[in-house]
Structure 1
Amino acid sequence: MNWFVLCVKAQQEKKVADILTKMQVEVYCPMLKETKVWSDRQKVVETPLFKSYVFVKLEEKYRGIVFGAPGVIRYLFYLGKPALVRDEEIWDIKKWMAGDSKDLNALSQLIPGSEIVIQNGVLKDHKGIVYWINKNNVSFFLKEMGVSAQVKLRDVV
């Protein structure tokens, strides 16, 4: 069995994945949790990692079954054939997604004034004091160098 890429209608990824799962098709639709902020409230919403795409694993002869789900447009093609995704690539996405949620947990524990240690990049193993945090980045002050720096959240412990 192979992983194929389905093109689906905009903002229908999760719905299509749910319907295909009920049809007993193996589906993978990686979702990111994001905090949306309005003037009066905040809400955590799930958005697809790949907009308008869903991965399905099935045998070549059963490819047509997916068109029974509303919202499915077509398969993604590459060089005139349906695009195939290797199992290793799906596992890599799943591992990356699991690590991304760890980043979000780390962000929730960071507060201005806390000490961090950089794990990756040019500033690896340097310590700093957090003074500003946003969705993906952490700004901090490096005491030993006397400078401010900003790194991606995933590079911080």
Structure 2
Amino acid sequence: MEGKVALALEAKGFEQLVPRYKVKRTWSDRIKMLGLPLFPGYVFCRFVDGTHGLAVSTYGVIRIVSFGGKPYPLASDEVASLQKLSSSAANVKPCPFQNLGAKVRIVDGPLAGVVGIISGNKKRQLVVSIEILMRSVAVEIDLDQVSLLAA
């Protein structure tokens, strides 16, 4: 459904993003790689003030994440991180929401610029959390590719 909504939003002129991850599925007659949404039920969409009514009138859109009746924008670094993660060949997977840990930025490689936290249970795992959705995604990294950010 996310893909259909994204196409409908794009047809209306909106910039949209449905971050995906790859998973291998096995059937009795074949094995296939599928691209599943990292955030099931969510389509990220850029719009300017006054145009959110056009977005919410799109078939499949239930509502826009908002506070006090106003659409709540994602931080630009969160969107940039999601775009890089979803377009990379890295092994990205959904994980439980995390917001505690050392905040770092990847400084080298195809994911350079992605900001996240180093997971406490796996020191080689970078977790990118979307605060407003209370959802996170994780990717394996080399620790020599990151630099610690000021708290």
Please identify which structure carries the higher helix content.
1
Give unpaired runs (5+ residues) of structure 1.
Answer: 1-11, 105-119, 123-151
Give aligned-pair identity as a percent. 29
Task: Tell me the TM-score normalised to structure 2 length.
Answer: 0.56
Q: Which amino acid aligns with 2:40?
A: K
| Higher Cα radius of gyration | 1
Deviation at 1:153, TM superposition (A): 8.2
Q: Partners of 2:139 and 2:70 in 1: how far apart? A: 39
Number of the residue aligned with 1:102: 90
Q: Partners of 2:59 and 2:73 in 1: how far apart? A: 22
CA contact (8 A) 1:121 1:155 kept: no
1:102-145 superposed Cα distances (whole Å, 9 cap, x missing partner): 348xxxxxxxxxxxxxxx848xxxxxxxxxxxxxxxxxxxxxxx
Matches within 5 A, 1:73-84: 73-78=62-67, 80-84=69-73
Among 19, 23, 31, the alignment partner of 1:42 is 31
Please identify which structure carries the higher strand content.
1
Number of the residue aligned with 1:154: 140
Q: Which amino acid aligns with 1:18?
A: L
Question: Does residue 1:30 correspond to 2:19, yes or no?
Answer: yes
Give unpaired runs (5+ residues) of structure 2.
Answer: 93-121, 125-137, 143-151
